[in-house]
Amino acid sequence: MHFLQVLVVVAAAAKLVSANPLPQSQFSTFTVPNATTTSTQEPATATSTTVPIPDSNNPCAKITKLYLNATEFYPKVPSDLAWQCLNDVPLDAPAATIWLQSLRPYIEWQSTTAYLKDPPQGYLEPAVDVWAEFDNIVSGISAGRYANEYEFEFALYRLFQGTHDGHFRYMPTLANGIFSFGRPVSLISYSADGYEAPKPYVYEDVLSNFVNGTAKPSAVTQIDGKEAIQFLEEWSQYGSLQDPDALYNNLFYGLAQASLGASGSGPGTFAGGGRGAYIYPGPTTSLTFENGSTHTHDNFARVQVPFRYINNGSDLYLNYVNSPLPSSTASNRLADAIQFSAPATATSPTVYPRPGYPPPVVNSKTFNNVAGYYLDEPGYEDVAVLAVASFVGTSDYQNVVYSFLDQAPKAGKTKLVIDTSANGGGTIMQGYNLFLNLFPGIVPYGATRFRSHEAFNLIGETVSERMFYYPFDYHDPPNWVWNDFAGGVPFNYRADVDVNYTNFDSWQDKNPPSTFMGDDFTSVIRWNLSDPLIYPANQVQPNGYGNRTGLPPTRPFEPENIVILYDGYCASTCAIFSELMTQQIGIKTVSIGGRPNGRHMQTVGGVKGTNNYPWYFISQLVTDTYTLAPDQASFFNTTALYDYIDPDTDWIPYHRAVGNSGQVNVRDGLREGDETQTPLQFIYEAADCRLYYTAEMTVDVTAMWEKVVDVTWNGDSCVVGGISGQGHAQSKRFDEDTSDAVKARAQAKAKRRLQKRRRQMTASRIAAIKQSLDIVTDSRNIQPIQGLMLP
């Protein structure tokens, strides 16, 4: 198996194996809901004639009844009813205990557990002793600490989520796969003038104000009776990011997130987008405003599985949470689990709308993952913007990047804004490629390392011994299993290069192991970009290597004419790209939004680990190792490898969780010259300049891009920090200005920006934004990729 680096939107719901007596679900033909439409597809068309409609007061039975009569794609039911149904599932303690044991082997691969336990200064989230908390859940089962199955599964989900490592992820079915919660109101946060502390607002109020000139929105001061900012900061902690300002931004609707459709966090975690879907928000949400009024909204839960034949929590458990296996032979069990967890069939990809964005100069053909824009406002005509909302992509993606960076300078653009808003990463080589497209000829540093443990070492030893040459012919390998160890997988010592970009001599050289923080790790490993197996394994050949040598011959932009913009969501491959740009070139950075605290804000707020493995890929690596060395099977059966193939348990982690949810961060990113080898995940990095959103930026991204240009090259001030005058030649001319003059000019520009957007906000543009409020995050239908943080 290898990772096709494609984002596939697929038929939904096939993962949940229907047990007897459930008929095979019609859901297998459903496609992912469309961001352009509020779907009115009938989930249970005509089944009411054949499926009994329960008549009981059990909350699950009530949901079945609502479901059978629903017309929405994911029918909405009252949140408290869903909550009661979840809590109606009795704890299956024996099954829970075995299940937990089956997870241990995968957690071994997580590279950061020693650091999470005792994080270095600068890391802003709480310490987590993963193994101690895991054992605590195990003992909680026998101690009767969990009143029901949901309480236990939610604790398990929270153990992973609480590490704030978006690559360390596991979603038990009952906690994450049956319902997704939400609030019917999206918030945004903006500053009145770009410098005052931002306040939260109801987004629809802001939209109405723009299009209909209705009353100025009144800020939210309290949520459910609690001071609003405090409530929001606490709720934001249910997100997966590692930076509090990034988490805060992720609460709110974001145009860049919406442009990603079902793979983004849409309306924000407060409204139930992204990780917000997994937290019960209570039956209602009451918002109190500055003007003194209070509105109370009914919260909802979306039903994610075909709710038929469910008369109570026990039925739910049996049908969806721990259903009997569809296949009886042990050897097929894991295959079944994998098949049901990985997306099965691809449909043609959907082009999502992109409200709030101008028409692109160049756009990727399918998703809005990367696109190039020119600013048309007088005074900004020399600016090109590359909006990189994701790094997921293959040749089309690479072509967009190449052609935009090729044509922009020819069109007279001398400055480049790279907008990483909403970028959770993607194809690792696209991150390297964008860097190499901007700075051809500079060898990217990109140091990494793996945690060294028994299974990892056995796989590496075996692969290094049995795959005795490298590279090999990908189309005609001596054994097809070899293809799993091509281009970017560390187990053959002949692949990759060391810290000095020279080859390793042996597996021992690559995995001595080295000890840091009391844990074992490999040597520093870097990508060998000349490796011809990078292309077949990744579907991208970075510029300057292989058949892309000489592309492009020169830098399209000078370093001082480039700035990177962050909303904090940047993670994984985006973190890799950011590290190369800021550390190797010294590119300046601007972060926007965050908590209303007037302090510095970090750039990358998502996971900075540089590689995640889905659990089924790990399982595959183990079976490959058995295949490579059949003569060692009886020995392997006495080692840690056996835990991954034990027919009694190997299927359980997949069978009891949502789709592709099991992931671990296997690779740390390391900074050049850092002798302590502290993973970048734990290193604090403030942006050079911090900005706040203003109202017009929440309806039109070009307003934000203009402001970024102003603080980078035109002498405007930041909320904190600054760029102009710090070596950027163009800004020097403002040095003679009095600060009052600079301020007056900035205020005039801000006024113009706002007024222009007021004029431009037609009802149809607002309607497009309003439709995107209905986006449902659907991470179970995103193909896992080795440098992508799933929502």
Ligand X SMILES: *[C@@H]1O[C@H](CO)[C@@H](O)[C@H](O)[C@H]1NC(C)=O
Contacting positions for ligand X (CB under 6 A): 31, 34, 36-37, 69, 202, 205, 207-208, 211-212, 217-218, 289, 291, 293, 311-312, 314-315, 350, 471, 497-503, 528, 530-532, 535, 541, 547-548, 633-634, 637, 645, 647, 766
Return the number of the residue (37 or 739) whose C-beta is nearest ligand X. Answer: 37
Least distance (Å) between residue 468 CB and ligand X: 15
Helix (H), strand (E) at residue 97: helix 93-107
Return the number of the residue (140 or 546) whose C-beta is nearest ligand X. Answer: 546
Task: Enumerate residues 6+ apart whose C-beta is below 8 A from 607.
Answer: 165, 166, 167, 168, 240, 241, 242, 571, 572, 575, 665, 681, 789
Find, among 169, 168, 165, 128, the residue nearest to 242 by Cα: 165
Least distance (Å) between residue 710 CB and ligand X: 29
Q: Where are the alpha helices (DSSP H) in 515-638?
A: 534-538, 573-579, 615-628, 633-636
Cβ-count burial 341-356 (b if 16+ within 10 Å, e if not): bbbeeeeeebebbbbb
Return the number of the residue (170 or 320) whose C-beta is nearest ligand X. Answer: 320
Find, among 617, 612, 618, 636, the residue nearest to 626 by Cα: 636
Return the number of the residue (634 or 676) whose C-beta is nearest ligand X. Answer: 634
Angle at 605 between CA 602 and CA 609, to 5 degrees: 120
- Phi then psi for residue 67, to 5 deg, are -60, -45
Least distance (Å) between residue 246 CB and ligand X: 27
Cα atoms in the 13 Å half-sphere on the side-chain side of 422? 28
Return the number of the residue (315 or 706) whose C-beta is nearest ligand X. Answer: 315
Q: What share of the chain is helix, strand, coil (3-state, %, to 5)?
A: 40, 15, 50
Helix (H), strand (E) at residue 207: helix 203-212
- Amino acid in position 760: Q
Least distance (Å) between residue 233 CB and ligand X: 21
- Phi then psi for residue 346, to 5 deg, are -90, 140
Return the number of the residue (632 or 779) whose C-beta is nearest ligand X. Answer: 632
Count the neighbouring beta carbons within 10 Å of the beta carbon of residue 142: 10
Least distance (Å) between residue 426 CB and ligand X: 19
Tokens of 425: 């990463």
Return the number of the residue (486 or 565) whose C-beta is nearest ligand X. Answer: 486
Please check whether residue 42 is in contact with residue 30, taking contact to mean a CB–CB distance below 8 angstroms.
Answer: no
Please check whether residue 116 is in contact with residue 129, taking contact to mean a CB–CB distance below 8 angstroms.
Answer: yes
Return the number of the residue (85 or 375) whose C-beta is nearest ligand X. Answer: 85
Least distance (Å) between residue 786 CB and ligand X: 19
Return the number of the residue (239 or 513) whose C-beta is nearest ligand X. Answer: 513
Least distance (Å) between residue 294 CB and ligand X: 9
Return the number of the residue (315 or 624) whose C-beta is nearest ligand X. Answer: 315
DSSP state of 561: G
Task: Enumerate residues 6+ apart whose C-beta is below 8 A from 410.
Answer: none
Least distance (Å) between residue 396 CB and ligand X: 12
Full 3-state SS string of 391-443: ECCCHHHHHHHHHHHHHHHHCCCCEEEEECCCCCEECHHHHHHHHHHHCCCCC
Please check whether residue 2 is in contact with residue 306, taking contact to mean a CB–CB distance below 8 angstroms.
Answer: no
Q: Tell me how far apart the alpha carbons of residues 276 and 207 are, in angstroms, rounded to a whole number.
A: 23
Least distance (Å) between residue 287 CB and ligand X: 8
Helix (H), strand (E) at residue 179: strand 179-182
Return the number of the residue (44 or 202) whose C-beta is nearest ligand X. Answer: 202
Please check whether residue 529 is in contact with residue 545, taking contact to mean a CB–CB distance below 8 angstroms.
Answer: yes
Return the number of the residue (69 or 747) whose C-beta is nearest ligand X. Answer: 69
Q: Which residue has the tokens 């009143």?
A: 147
Q: Tell me how far apart the alpha carbons of residues 571 and 431 are, in angstroms, rounded to a whole number.
A: 11
Least distance (Å) between residue 307 CB and ligand X: 12
CA distances from 270 to 238, 278, 544 (A): 10, 11, 44
Return the number of the residue (218 or 583) whose C-beta is nearest ligand X. Answer: 218
Return the number of the residue (334 or 664) whose C-beta is nearest ligand X. Answer: 334
Maximum separation of any 2 CA atoms in the chain, in Å: 80
Least distance (Å) between residue 731 CB and ligand X: 38
Least distance (Å) between residue 632 CB and ligand X: 9
Least distance (Å) between residue 26 CB and ligand X: 16
Parallel, antiparallel or unpaired: strands 588-592 and 689-691: parallel
Least distance (Å) between residue 498 CB and ligand X: 5
- Phi then psi for residue 374, to 5 deg, are -115, 140
Q: Tell me how far apart the alpha carbons of residues 99 and 163 are, in angstroms, rounded to a whole number.
A: 21
- Amino acid in position 22: L
Least distance (Å) between residue 96 CB and ligand X: 18
Task: Enumerate residues 6+ apart whose C-beta is below 8 A from 421.
Answer: 254, 255, 256, 257, 387, 389, 565, 566, 567, 569, 701
Least distance (Å) between residue 781 CB and ligand X: 12
Helix (H), strand (E) at residue 156: helix 149-161
Tokens of 61: 């039975």
Return the number of the residue (381 or 509) whose C-beta is nearest ligand X. Answer: 509
- Phi then psi for residue 63, to 5 deg, are -70, -40
Return the number of the residue (217 or 594) whose C-beta is nearest ligand X. Answer: 217
Least distance (Å) between residue 119 CB and ligand X: 27
Count the neighbouring beta carbons within 10 Å of the beta carbon of residue 379: 12
Return the number of the residue (101 or 208) whose C-beta is nearest ligand X. Answer: 208
